[in-house]
Amino acid sequence: MKKRLKNFKLDCSHGKEPQLKYLFNSEFEPFFRLFVLKDENDKWYGAFMLSNKESNFAQTELILRRKNAPVDVIEALIFSIFTKLKNEKYEYWSLGGGRFTLNEDKFFTKEGIVNFIGRRLRFAYNYEGLFFFKNKFNPIWIDYYFCVKPKLTFSILLKILIRTNLHKIIINKLPHALSFGIKNKGH
């Protein structure tokens, strides 16, 4: 299963591009659950990998969709998984995190600068599209925080950027963004 999932990732929209690391599990483990939408010839169109945070709490680790798969593949999988988890008496199912920026601007603060930069990097990581996709399922949003002692510095943020592989994603997307012009609404 692990090898098949790894090969399927390569057939997905961003599968051959650099990937985020350490923010979620990306490799299949025996204690994970894998839900797949496939055709009669066993061709995969979409996949969800879930872990259990607790016995009644499922956590989405990966959401994958084959390039050129039918439009509603992920929605169909979500409905199917939701129904199964509900029948199994799960109380919670997390679709995972949303955006990596603040909702309100705080100019001239470290948070405001990070937020400003994060919005300018939307060409590399479409956090807004991911947020709007997940938000249509009417989730309960829970804030995530970085906890750093003694304090969060720009050098620590740079280390996080490198450790999570975001720098490689930015470098990979930059030529395309520059050739078409970076278009940001600045939300």
pLDDT value of position 142: 81
pLDDT value of position 121: 81
Question: For helices 154-163 and 166-180, what crossing angle results, to 10°?
Answer: 90
pLDDT value of position 183: 55
Whole-angstrom distance, CA of residue 47 vs CA of residue 75: 11
Number of H helices, E strands in the chain: 6, 4
pLDDT value of position 187: 39
Mean per-residue pLDDT pooled into runs of 10, the chain (187 residues):
91 88 86 95 96 92 93 94 96 81 63 76 80 86 77 86 90 84 49
CB contact set of 97 (below 8 Å; sequence gap of 6+): 23, 24, 144
pLDDT value of position 120: 80
pLDDT value of position 25: 85
What number of CA atoms fall less than 13 Å from residue 174's CA on the CB side?
7
pLDDT value of position 186: 42
Q: Any idea what DSSP says for residue 124?
A: T
Q: Any idea what DSSP says for residue 12?
A: B
pLDDT value of position 103: 56
Whole-angstrom distance, CA of residue 152 vs CA of residue 154: 7
pLDDT value of position 162: 93
Tell me if 79 sits within 8 A of 44, measured CB to CB. Answer: no
- Strands lying side by side in the sheet with 33-38: 33-38, 44-54, 57-65, 92-94
Rg of the chain over Cα atoms, rounded to whole angstroms, equals 18
Tell me if 83 sits within 8 A of 116, measured CB to CB. Answer: no
pLDDT value of position 43: 96
pLDDT value of position 148: 76
pLDDT value of position 185: 44
For the chain, which domains are there?
2-94 (3.40.630.30), 110-180 (no CATH)
Whole-angstrom distance, CA of residue 61 vs CA of residue 97: 10
